[in-house]
Amino acid sequence: MSFQAPKGVKEYVPPQASTFSAIRAAFAETARRAGYSYLETAVFEDTQLFARGVGESTDVVSKEMYTFTDRGGRSLTLRPEFTAGVLRAVLEYGLHRGQLPVKVWANGPVFRAEAPQEGRYRQFYQLDLEAIGSEDPAVDAETIALAWQWYSALGLTRVRLLLNSLGCKECRPIYRARLQEFLRGLDLDEATRARIEINPLRVLDDRRPEVRAQLENAPLIGDHLCADCKAYHDRVKQLLADLDIPWEDSPKLVRGLDYYTRTTFEFDHPLLGAQSGIGGGGRYDGLSEAIGGPPLPGIGFGLGLDRTVLALEREGVQLDTPPRCEVYGVALGDEAARAMFRLLSELRAAGVAADMAFGGKGLKGAMKGADRSGARFALILGERDLAAEAVQVKDLTTADQTEVPLAQVVDVLKGKLQ
């Protein structure tokens, strides 16, 4: 077969896929317990949603989006992030007219045209959570805490929380002018100089060593916060401290999207090298207006499933995943196969993971299949067993074998598997 997955597309196959699924299921439960409802959004959107929402000057919009023209001549883009699309859906379906904040979460593939490397893919997977319609430090702290508690529940111990505030429409312009003044005096290329005039905070996010060296003495937004923003940020940190969640001040943390205001945060894992950011987010109080909606504050995050899988591997954490198979059926003869087929259906209906040997295999080949399945028990059913209305139950860990009446086998196995 000559076909392969496109370059930069991360795929998950068994057994690693079970870890991926368990991570997602754990997040779903974390979100549910905090009152968040699931939201399924479009994989592609009107290109202008991202241009206006994420920002024309960002690398995401200017360099990394997968944009195409459909047969109707419309410009569409595969989602490069979740927040703009989630907010669009909240506004379109009027969720903001009900109880606030609107608390939703989503997950799925995200697409960016980047140079593929470990931890950075062109198709990758995110968990997204948004709280829309409330400007309250407690909502910010809750959002951060949910991600932190999820990482902890997975067994990760090396995650670091980086925290900053990007100010508001009152204090940000003052800092912006001060930062522009500083940046104009640096030795920067023309593209970066152009960025200074459009969105100077984005220069602080530049990863090139020669640029970062020149930013050592750049003015910090934390020194220019207004009284309200400072009090807001202090309250967020106080609430996190109440939950014993440690953070590190990161005064140059701006993230890569234009819509962030006030609380901004990132989760970092030091064992992942250059791609150490495994999640992050922040407040976006002006995003609704930017895409044509009413004033509607919000905060949220995106967590990378791919990098979380890598972080678990780096720390040597093995998740407890549901068994693929607990009981494996071995039928000898056509009538026994028919009876086994019915029996497996009953087991599955009772909540037992069950499989069987297909294709009329003999006892030796079928038992090899039982061993490979990972099942704890094998059910062996032949003509004599059918005549006796019984089945042989073999414990594959001890090799002990007992005869159990067919009418009782489901209850017996459920008792043994508890």
By DSSP bridging, strand 123-132 and strand 102-111 are antiparallel
Q: Which residues are annotated as a binding site for L-histidine?
A: 81-83, 112, 126, 130, 255, 259-260
Give the count of alpha carbons within 13 A of 256, CB side only: 15
User: Which token pair is 408?
Assistant: 């009782």
Binding site residue list = 81-83, 112, 126, 130, 255, 259-260
Q: The tokens 């989006």 sit on which residue?
A: 65
Phi, psi of 42 (to 5 degrees): -65, 145
Q: Rounded to the nearest 5 degrees, what angle is found at the Cα of 14, between the Cα atoms of 5 and 322?
A: 145
101 upstream amide cis, omega within 30 of 0: yes
Q: Which residues, 6 or more positions from 150, have their beta carbon under 8 angstroms from its beta carbon?
A: 26, 27, 30, 303
Contact between 265 and 164 under an 8 Å Cβ cutoff? The reply is yes
Rounded distance, CA 53 to CA 258, Å?
A: 8
Q: Which residues contact 275 (CB under 8 A, 6 or more apart)?
A: 117, 118, 119, 120, 307
